[in-house]
Structure 1
Amino acid sequence: MPVNRPLDSVEARFQTAIAASGKSDQAIGLAVSGGGDSIALMQLAARFRPAGKLFAISIDHGLRPEAKDEIALVAVQAMTLGIDHAVVNWTWAGKGNLQAAAREGRWAAVRDWALMHDLRTVWFGHTEDDQVETLLMRLARGSGIDGLTAMYPMTQRDGLQVFRPLLGLSRADLRAWLTQQKITWAEDPSNEDPRFDRVRARQMFAQLETLGMTRKRLLQTVDHMQAAHLSLQEAALGFAKLHVRQDAGDLILAPAALDLGKADAPRRVMAAAFAWVGSRNYRPRFEQLLETVAQARKGATITLGGCIMTPCEAGAVRLMREAAATTSAVRLQSDAGRPLGVFWDKRWFLEGPVHDDLTFKALGSGVKECPDWRDAGVPRASLMASPSVWQGGRLIAAPLAGLSNEWSARIVADFHTSAFAIED
């Protein structure tokens, strides 16, 4: 059990945590579900940041009828605090693992909302308890150093800064503070459902404490793993700067980066390259990486994880996005109050004149409608995976292929600054 601390220390520790988060006058996004942790996040943020600079978002997954009441609670408190509050609905496609799909859907909604509102930082309400539970779950899965880092207070994801100011606070402390402040929160019954790994980890913790695996010891393990991980990431970044060149949305990997024998840096760089080009949060299995790179070194063009790897000059390889692995996005003119643009395929942001029912997708065979595409100086397959704007079956713009029509496309974060930052 967490040690009881004076309740005024909750505000003091929160204030200390956010002091390292950036300028106090920058706009901040808050992910607020209505549970005790996220309600505490919003209420504490309002005490130390100007309300006009705070923007809250709640995601309705449509999985529990109680969620609408929880979001209504957030709306009332946000209005009282003077915080702008948005609600986004998410619907499960019925495929894959529901919990994993919900996490990805939740993040996608938060990310798109933040970028459309020009927010560069989003705060989440993960606590010290979440940190311990995450470590236990990853230990059970046999994770290595990267997995056992659990959660960092500050990370980067899809070009956004993700900040967790409550990681040094326990769930019990936050609820005691809310009770003292007479602030209402909602309890999600799924937090006690043993079908979920996190709940089982929480229930197991009491027994582990009898073996000496206390909260303090587990948090020390996280600290050690994060120190080791940072050293490995720094080494990989230095290696990538020497041996990997970015060309728009492609990466050119020199021969040294293809030697995945025993050193950690080339392996880490190669895995990060596939994740970045493939717009994925997870990396391919190591065995798949080895086989793919081996085939490319022999002169083959091969696909893996939404990427195409093909040999190029002087023994290097080019890693490109696979056009067929991308999905389209629709932007309506009725999305009032947002910048003229759309975030596409997790790496690109397109800006230009918005019209009704525009579709944003990979250029694909539309490259044939771009007479100047060869002037781009990149392979045709690369341009086929580049962003384009369509209205029905008519190509409006393909900025990288020489057809702009007042549209531009930019990478949200380049490979070297994003792939080796501390990421989720």
Structure 2
Amino acid sequence: MPVSRSSDSVEGRFQAAIAASCHSDQPVGLAVSGGGDSIALMQLAARFRPADRLRAISIDHGLRPEAKDEIALVAAQAMALGIDHAVVNWTWDGKGNLQAAAREGRWAAVRDWAVMHNLRTVWFGHTEDDQVETLLMRLARGSGIDGLTAMYPLTRRDGLQVFRPLLGLSRADLRAWLTQQKITWAEDPSNEDPRFDRVRARQMFAQLETLGMTRKRLLQTVDHMQAAHLSLQEAALGFAKLHVRQDTGDLILGPAALDLAKADAPRRVMAAAFAWVASRSYRPRFEQLLETVAQARKGATVTLGGCIMTPDKGGAVRLTREAAATSAAVRLQHDADLPLGVFWDQRWFLEGPVDDNLSFKALGSGIKDCPDWRAAGLPRTSLMASPAIWQGERLVAAPVAGLSNGWSARIVADYHTSAFAIED
């Protein structure tokens, strides 16, 4: 996908992207593979952020022997820039589609690394070319408005901000800039392998241009879809403010929010509710959602995707996190520059006397050691899914259930302000 723009303004456009979308001076993570896009991301970030505010991560999938050399290249450049660099290994279990599994495994590794270091934002090197290719692949899959939005510069996923400062730049722009700066990068041969959908989308673009489907036109389509998506999200947010109430980590959905027969807003609100309570970026399948809500409206207690839905007063339902679906978090290091706390289950932030021997997981059966749990005013099931601090098998604190011992717990983003943000 050739472009005619000069590389001279690469730094200016990168700086403008940061100014438009990334205002915080908190430390950020950089996902760096060693390819031209991600190497440019790290090098540009180092020009506009202090090195001690940057951390880089590379994922070794163990699929290509060349990956070791690519990661070594990243490590060397990171060291020269003064940026802390970590390498995480990922191994395919042989199940499902390799590319999809690698993509999910890569994200999980980045997410866990970011949480461990209390990073709230991770930067990725997606470019304008990636934007066009994503649109083409989603068109081929018959995606609706949400899918055809492709990628936003700033999104949220699993409680993290995902920032893409290179979306306004092409691969040609970045490689011209790297060449000009005498910066080395690696070329992944799989980027030319026609077995992969993204590569085929890239290869057919030249033919599509002859039909008038130019880069400019495709990016205009993305812009139109994003505008339509935002309108639907805004309508859903207004509906949610009227019919959904947050109760600590639970949601109370009124009767109008349970009517998923026709309108978009209730469907969007319900799907977002499950995603928010379950701390997931992906929403339940629509058919499963319809069946679950239908059973709850008949008075049944049902589970779906890590959530429990129970009947509530006046025809409403309560949506609660399922304690068994949560996982433990361990803060592996104590850094004086980081907050005295830890993010848990992607919605909670716990603050208190941090110690390296502590773990953070759902209260569960530990509720028996919380004599004042009823005073919290929440159902027992809700409290069992609330965060607790443990030392081995001993319960240290359960702030939501009334056992504080110097600890506090708060939801870091409420449903109404976060569930209708732009999704990845």
Tell me, in whole angstroms, the C-alpha distance in 2 between the residues paired with 1:80 and 1:349: 34
The CA RMSD measured in Å over matched residues stands at: 2.3
Comparing 378-387 with 95-104, which one deviates more in the overlay? 95-104
Q: Which amino acid aligns with 1:378?
A: L
Tell me, in whole angstroms, the C-alpha distance in 2 between the residues paired with 1:203 and 1:87: 32
SS in 2 for 1:183: coil
Please list, as runs of the form range in 1=range in 2, the aligned pairs for 1:90-239 lying within 5 A after superposition: 90-239=90-239
Tell me, in whole angstroms, the C-alpha distance in 2 between the residues paired with 1:356 and 1:40: 36
What is the CA distance between 1:35 and its match in structure 2?
Answer: 0.8
Q: Which amino acid aligns with 2:213?
A: M
What is the CA distance between 1:228 and its match in structure 2?
Answer: 0.1
Residue 12 to residue 339, structure 1, CA distance change in 2 (3 Å): closer
Please list, as runs of the form range in 1=range in 2, the aligned pairs for 1:364-383 lying within 5 A after superposition: 364-383=364-383
Residue 145 to residue 290, structure 1, CA distance change in 2 (3 Å): same
What is the CA distance between 1:173 and its match in structure 2?
Answer: 1.8
Structure-1 residue corresponding to 2:34: 34
Comparing 37-46 with 88-97, which one deviates more in the overlay? 88-97
SS in 1 for 2:20: coil
SS in 1 for 2:21: coil
Q: Which amino acid aligns with 1:149?
A: T
Tell me, in whole angstroms, the C-alpha distance in 2 between the residues paired with 1:291 and 1:131: 35
Tell me, in whole angstroms, the C-alpha distance in 1 between the residues paired with 2:243 and 2:381: 23
Tell me, in whole angstroms, the C-alpha distance in 2 between the residues paired with 1:371 and 1:349: 23
What is the CA distance between 1:355 and its match in structure 2?
Answer: 4.2
Tell me, in whole angstroms, the C-alpha distance in 1 between the residues paired with 2:389 and 2:121: 28
Q: Which amino acid aligns with 1:210?
A: T
Tell me, in whole angstroms, the C-alpha distance in 2 between the residues paired with 1:164 and 1:77: 21
Tell me, in whole angstroms, the C-alpha distance in 2 between the residues paired with 1:24 and 1:396: 33
Structure-1 residue corresponding to 2:13: 13
Tell me, in whole angstroms, the C-alpha distance in 2 between the residues paired with 1:95 and 1:352: 41
| Contact 2:158-2:281 at 8 Å conserved across structures | no
What is the CA distance between 1:60 and its match in structure 2?
Answer: 2.8
Please list, as runs of the form range in 1=range in 2, the aligned pairs for 1:259-270 lying within 5 A after superposition: 259-270=259-270
Q: Which amino acid aligns with 2:321?
A: R
Residue 358 to residue 271, structure 1, CA distance change in 2 (3 Å): same
What is the CA distance between 1:3 and its match in structure 2?
Answer: 2.3
TM-score by length of 1: 0.92
| Contact 2:92-2:98 at 8 Å conserved across structures | yes
Tell me, in whole angstroms, the C-alpha distance in 2 between the residues paired with 1:93 and 1:370: 41
TM-score by length of 2: 0.92
Structure-2 residue corresponding to 1:67: 67
What is the CA distance between 1:79 and its match in structure 2?
Answer: 2.4
What is the CA distance between 1:203 and its match in structure 2?
Answer: 2.2
What is the CA distance between 1:96 and its match in structure 2?
Answer: 4.2
What is the CA distance between 1:92 and its match in structure 2?
Answer: 4.2
Tell me, in whole angstroms, the C-alpha distance in 2 between the residues paired with 1:336 and 1:25: 17
Structure-2 residue corresponding to 1:281: 281
Structure 1, residues 32-88: CA drift from partner, whole Å, max 9, x if none?
A: 221100111111222333334333222333333332322221222122223333333
SS in 2 for 1:162: strand
What is the CA distance between 1:313 and its match in structure 2?
Answer: 1.1
What is the CA distance between 1:133 and its match in structure 2?
Answer: 1.0
Tell me, in whole angstroms, the C-alpha distance in 2 between the residues paired with 1:276 and 1:283: 9
Structure 1, residues 1-36: CA drift from partner, whole Å, max 9, x if none?
A: 322222202223223222212337554332222110
Tell me, in whole angstroms, the C-alpha distance in 1 between the residues paired with 2:27 and 2:118: 8
Structure 1, residues 306-328: CA drift from partner, whole Å, max 9, x if none?
A: 11111111111100111222223
**1:245 counterpart = 2:245:** yes
| Contact 1:326-1:345 at 8 Å conserved across structures | yes
Q: Which runs of 5 or more residues in structure 2 are unaligned?
A: none
Tell me, in whole angstroms, the C-alpha distance in 1 between the residues paired with 2:31 and 2:202: 23
Structure-2 residue corresponding to 1:349: 349
**1:294 counterpart = 2:311:** no
Comparing 263-272 with 120-129, which one deviates more in the overlay? 120-129
| Contact 2:118-2:342 at 8 Å conserved across structures | no
What is the CA distance between 1:198 and its match in structure 2?
Answer: 1.6
Tell me, in whole angstroms, the C-alpha distance in 1 between the residues paired with 2:26 and 2:324: 38
Residue 190 to residue 341, structure 1, CA distance change in 2 (3 Å): farther
Q: Which amino acid aligns with 2:269?
A: V
**1:402 counterpart = 2:399:** no
Tell me, in whole angstroms, the C-alpha distance in 2 between the residues paired with 1:135 and 1:45: 27
Structure-2 residue corresponding to 1:86: 86
Tell me, in whole angstroms, the C-alpha distance in 2 between the residues paired with 1:13 and 1:323: 45
| Contact 2:334-2:356 at 8 Å conserved across structures | no
Structure-1 residue corresponding to 2:416: 416
What is the CA distance between 1:153 and its match in structure 2?
Answer: 1.2
Equivalent pairs counted in the alignment come to: 423
| Contact 1:296-1:317 at 8 Å conserved across structures | yes
Residue 52 to residue 396, structure 1, CA distance change in 2 (3 Å): closer
Comparing 292-301 with 54-63, which one deviates more in the overlay? 54-63
Comparing 377-386 with 87-96, which one deviates more in the overlay? 87-96
Residue 296 to residue 23, structure 1, CA distance change in 2 (3 Å): closer
Residue 385 to residue 101, structure 1, CA distance change in 2 (3 Å): farther
| Contact 1:39-1:74 at 8 Å conserved across structures | yes
What is the CA distance between 1:375 and its match in structure 2?
Answer: 1.4
Q: Which amino acid aligns with 1:23?
A: H
Comparing 199-208 with 109-118, which one deviates more in the overlay? 109-118
Comparing 113-122 with 146-155, which one deviates more in the overlay? 113-122
What is the CA distance between 1:208 and its match in structure 2?
Answer: 2.3
SS in 2 for 1:241: helix
Structure-1 residue corresponding to 2:305: 305
SS in 2 for 1:20: helix
| Contact 1:117-1:339 at 8 Å conserved across structures | no
Structure 1, residues 196-226: CA drift from partner, whole Å, max 9, x if none?
A: 2222222222232233222222111111100
SS in 2 for 1:329: coil
| Contact 1:122-1:160 at 8 Å conserved across structures | yes
| Contact 1:158-1:413 at 8 Å conserved across structures | no
Structure 1, residues 248-284: CA drift from partner, whole Å, max 9, x if none?
A: 1110111111111211111100010011111221111
